[in-house]
Amino acid sequence: MSDIVSRGAFLKPAQRRYREVDIDGFGVVRIQSLTEREWATFEMSAVATKGGIIRKRVEDARRRLIALCVVDAAGNRLLADADVPQLANLDGAVASKLFDACQKHCGFDDNEIEDMVKNSDAITVEDSPTD
Asked whether residue 123 carries a pLDDT value surpassing 60, the answer given is no
45-74 confidence digits (pLDDT tens): 766 666 666 667 777 889 999 999 999 999
Q: What is the CATH number of the domain that holds 113?
A: 3.30.2220.20
Q: How far apart, in Å, are the Cα atoms of 123 and each of 30, 41, 55, 111?
A: 35, 20, 9, 19
Residue 8 in any domain: the answer is no
Residue 96 in any domain: the answer is yes
**How many structural domains comprise the chain?**
1
Please, which pLDDT band fits residue 131 given cuts at 50, 70 and 90? very low
Residue 10 in any domain: the answer is no
Asked whether residue 93 carries a pLDDT value surpassing 90, the answer given is yes
Q: Which domain holds residue 55?
A: 16-123
Residue 4 in any domain: the answer is no
Asked whether the CA dihedral 123, 45, 29, 83 is positive or negative, the reply is positive
- CA 119, CA 82: separation in Å to the nearest integer? 26
- CA 62, CA 87: separation in Å to the nearest integer? 10
Residue 62 in any domain: the answer is yes
Residue 94 in any domain: the answer is yes
Asked whether residue 130 carries a pLDDT value surpassing 80, the answer given is no
Asked whether residue 22 carries a pLDDT value surpassing 80, the answer given is yes
Please, which pLDDT band fits residue 106 given cuts at 50, 70 and 90? very high
Residue 40 in any domain: the answer is yes
Reference 77, options 18, 9, 11; nearest CA is 18
Q: How far apart, in Å, are the Cα atoms of 32 and each of 5, 53, 90?
A: 24, 27, 20
Q: What is the mean pLDDT of residues 98-117?
A: 80
Beta bridge partners of 20: 30
pTM for the full model?
A: 0.78
Residue 37 in any domain: the answer is yes
- Give the pLDDT score at 58: 72
